[in-house]
Structure 1
Amino acid sequence: MDTATHVVMGIAIGGLATLDPVVAENTVNSHSVLVAAIIGSQIPDIDTFLKLRNNAVYLRNHRGVTHSIPAVLFWPIAVTAFVSLFFPETNILHLWIWSFIAVFLHVFVDIFNAYGTQALRPFSNKWVAFGIINTFDPIIFSLHVLGIIFWIFGAPPGYTFLIMYTVIILYYLLRFIMQRTVRSALLKTIPDAEEIIIAPTMRFNQWRLAVTSKDNFYVGRAYKRSITIFDKFKRLPVPQSPIIEAASKDKNISAFLSFSPVYRWEIGEFDNYYEVRYIDLRYRSNGHYPFVAIVQLNHDLDIIASYTGWIYSEEKLRKKLNIVTE
C-alpha cells in the first residue's frame, strides 16, 4: 500500500489496541502502543530510501528483505526497543505484541497489491502478488480516515476500528470475487491464455490486463465483465546475439528482468550506437507503456548509457540517458 494508507493503518491499530486491557489501563501504555503501531506500519518500507541510489537498486530490493519473514520478526523487536526508550514504564510484552501486529499487517496487505512482496524469503524469492487491491485504494483509505474522525469525536476506538476492519475484510473478499469474474470473462475472450495478470486500478470496476498465450501478448482493460483488448504483440523470444549479451550485463536491464514478468523487447541500430529496450506490458496508460529498461551501446558493444524506471515521453527518456538521437 502507499505511505498515507500505512500511516492511517498505524493510527487505527493503535486505536484497536485499546481493546487490550493492559494497553487501556493507563495512558503510558496506550500512548506507547500508538507510537509503536505508527512506526511499525511504516518501517518495512524503509527500503524506499534506496531510490536515492538508483532505480536499479530500488527495483531489486524494494519489498524484498525488509518484507521477509526474518524482517517481520526483527522489526517489532527494534520498534519495541526504540519506543521503550521514550516510554520506560510501558509494558514491554504488549508493546511488542502490537508492534508485531502493525508490522505483520503492513507486509500482509502489501501482498494483495499488483506489485507484491517477497514475503516468503528466505524460503523463496518468488514475488507474492494477488493483485486485487490497488496500491492506493480510496475505499480503504477513506474507511480509515472515517474511523479516525469518529475517534476524534469521542467514539470508542477499539470497537470503531474492529467494525472497520470487519468491513475491510469483507471488501477484500468482494475484490477477490470480482477478480475471479474478470478472469473467467477473459478466458472466454482468449481461451489459449497461458499466463494472466489482472491488476486493479483506482477505479472500482476497472482492471488492467496483461495476457500471455503461446504465440502472443495481449494488453487490455476489463470493466466488470466486459473485456477490451488494446494491443496484441507477437511473442518472440529474446534473440541470442552479441548485442543482447552485452546489454544484459547492465544493472538496469538485469534489475528490470528480475522484476517484470511480462515484457516485449526492441533492438534499434543508429549511426553511432545500438539501443536495446525492454517494455513492461502491465502498465499501459493512454496508449503508452511507461515502465521500461533501456541500454545504449557503441559499435564496440560498450555500454554508454542506460536507464530503468517510469518514463512518459521520449524527450524525458533522452534527457535521462543524456544522449541526443541522430
Structure 2
Amino acid sequence: MDTGTHIAMGIAIGGLATLDPVVASSSETATAVMAGVIAGSLAPDLDTILKLRNNAQYIRNHRGITHSIPAVILWPLPILFVLSLLFPGADLFHLWLWTFLGVIIHVFVDVFNAYGTQALRPFSKKWVALGVINTFDPFIFIAHVIAIACWAFGTSPGPTFITLYAIIVLYYGWRFYEQRQVANAVRKKYPDVEQLIISPTMRLHHWHLAITTKKKFHVGRAINKEVVTFDSFDRVPVPDSDVIAAAKKDKNLSAFLSFSPVYRWEIEEYNDHIEVRFIDLRYRSKDYYPFVAVVQLDYDLNIICSYTGWIFSEKKLRKKLDYLPN
C-alpha cells in the first residue's frame, strides 16, 4: 500500500490497542504504543531508500528481504529499544506486541497488491501478489480517514475500528469475487489462456489485463466485467543469441527479468550500436508501456548504457539514455 494508507492503518491499530486493558490504563503506554504501531506500519518500506542508489537495486529488492519472515520478527526490536528510552514507564511487552502487529499488518496488506512481496522468504523467493487491491485504494484510505475523524470527534475507538475492519474484510471479499468474475470473462473470450494477470486500478470496476495465450499476448482492461482488448502481440520466444546473452549480463535488464512475469522484446540495430528493449505488458498507460528495460551495446557486444524503471514517454527515455541533453 502507499505510505499514507500505512500511516492511517497504524493510527487505526493504535486505536484498537485501547481495547488492551494494560494500554488503556497507562497514558504513557498508550502514547508509546501509538508511536510504535505507526513506526511498525512504516518500517518495512525503509528499503525505498534503495531508489537513491539506482532503479535496478530498488526493483530487485523492494518488498523483498524487508518484508520477509525474519524481517517481520526483527523490525519491532529497534523500534522497541528507541521507544523504551523515550517512554521509560511504558509496558514493554504490550508495546512490543502492538508494534509487532503493526509490522505484520503492513506486510499482510501488501500481499494483496499487484506488486506483491517476498513475504515467504527465506523459505521461498517467490513474489506473492494476489492483485485484488490497488497500491492506493481510495475506499480503504477514505474509510480509515472517516474512522479516525469519528474517533477525534469523540466516538469510542474500539468499536469504531472494529467496525472499520469488519467493513474492510467484506470489501476484500467482494474484490476477490469481482476478480474471479473478470477471470471467467477473460477465459470465455480467450479459451486458450495460459497465463492471466489481473491487476486492480483505482477505479472500482476497472482492472488491467495481461493475457498470455498459445500464440499471442493480449493487453486490455475489464470494465464492469466486460473485456476490452487494446493491443495484441505475437508471442515470440526470446532468441538464444549472443546479443541477448550479452544484454542479460546488464544489472538493469537482470533486475527487470527478476521482477517481470510477462513481457515482449525488441532488438533495433543502428549505425553505432544495438538496442535491446524488454517491455512489461502489465502497466499499459495512455497507449504507452512505461515499465521497461533498455540496454545499448556496441557491435563488439560491450554494454554502452542501460536503464530500467517507469518512464512515461520516449523522449524522457532517450534523455535517460543520454540521447538528448539533460
Partner of 2:4: 4
Q: Which residue in 1 is equivalent to 2:293? A: 293
Residue in structure 2 matched with residue 78 of structure 1 by the alignment: 78
Structure 1 unaligned blocks of 5 or more: none
Letter of the 2:104 counterpart: F
Q: Which residue number in structure 2 is paired with residue 321 of structure 1? A: 321
Q: How many residues align?
A: 325
Task: Tell me the alpha carbon deviations over residues 217-275 of structure 1, each in whole angstroms, 9 at most, x when there is no partner.
Answer: 11000012200011111111100111111111000000000000000000000011000
- Give, in whole Å, the separation in 1 of the partners of 2:52 and 2:212: 34
TM-score (norm 2): 0.98
Q: What is the CA-CA distance between 1:119 and the residue it aligns to?
A: 0.2
SS at the partner of 2:75? Answer: helix
Q: What is the match of residue 39 of structure 2?
A: 39
* Corresponding position of 1:199: 199
Amino acid paired to 1:38? I
- Whole-angstrom CA distance in 1 between matches of 2:16 and 2:281: 40
Report Cα offsets for 1:179-233 as digits up to 9, x if no partner: 0000011100011001100000010000000011121111000012200011111
Within 2, Cα distance between the matches of 1:320 and 1:139? 36
Q: What SS does the corresponding residue of 1:217 show, helix, strand or coil?
A: strand
Q: Give the fraction of aligned pairs with identical amino acids, expressed as a percent.
A: 61
Given that 1:76 and 1:103 are in contact with CA atoms closer than 8 Å, whether structure 2 keeps it comes out as yes
Q: Is the Cα–Cα contact under 8 Å of residues 291 and 309 in structure 2 kept in the other structure?
A: yes
Question: RMSD of the alignment, in Å?
Answer: 1.0
Q: What is the deviation of 1:300?
A: 1.2
Alpha-carbon separation, structure 1, partners of 2:152 and 2:217: 51
Counterpart-to-counterpart distance in 1, 2:135 and 2:233: 27
TM-aligned CA deviation for residue 279 of structure 1: 0.1
Name the aligned partner's letter for residue 91 of structure 2: N
Distance between the aligned counterparts of 2:146 and 2:167, measured in 1? 13
CA contact (8 A) 1:37 1:99 kept: yes
**CA distance in structure 1 between the partners assigned to 2:167 and 2:84 by the alignment:** 33
Instruction: Give the TM-score of the pair, scaled to structure 1.
Output: 0.98
Displacement of 1:324:
5.2
Distance 1:140 1:313 in 2: 31
Q: What secondary structure does 1:115 align onto?
A: coil
Structure 2 residue aligned with 1:250:
250
Residues 14-163 of structure 1: pairs in structure 2 closer than 5 A:
14-163=14-163
Question: Per-residue deviation at 1:78?
Answer: 2.1
Aligned ranges 1:216-227 → 2 under 5 Å: 216-227=216-227
* CA deviation profile, 1:298-323 (whole Å, cap 9, x unmatched): 11111111000111111111110113
Whole-angstrom distance in 1 between the partners of 2:168 and 2:279: 35
Verify the 8 A CA contact 1:19 1:159 in the aligned structure 2: no
| 3-state SS in 1 of match to 2:90 | coil
CA distance in 2, matches of 1:128, 1:324: 39
CA distance in 2, matches of 1:167, 1:78: 33
8 A contact 2:114–2:129 mirrored in 1: yes
**Partner residue in 1 for 2:164:** 164
Name segments (4+ residues, structure 1) moved above 4 Å: none
How far apart, in 2, do the equivalents of 1:199 and 1:15 lie?
32
**More divergent stretch after superposition (310-319 vs 264-273):** 310-319
Give the Cα separation in 2 of the matches to 1:290 and 1:256.
13
Query: 1:188 maps to which residue?
Result: 188
Aligned 8 A contact 2:205 2:225 in 1: no
State the alpha-carbon separation in 1 of the partners of residues 124 and 33 from structure 2.
32
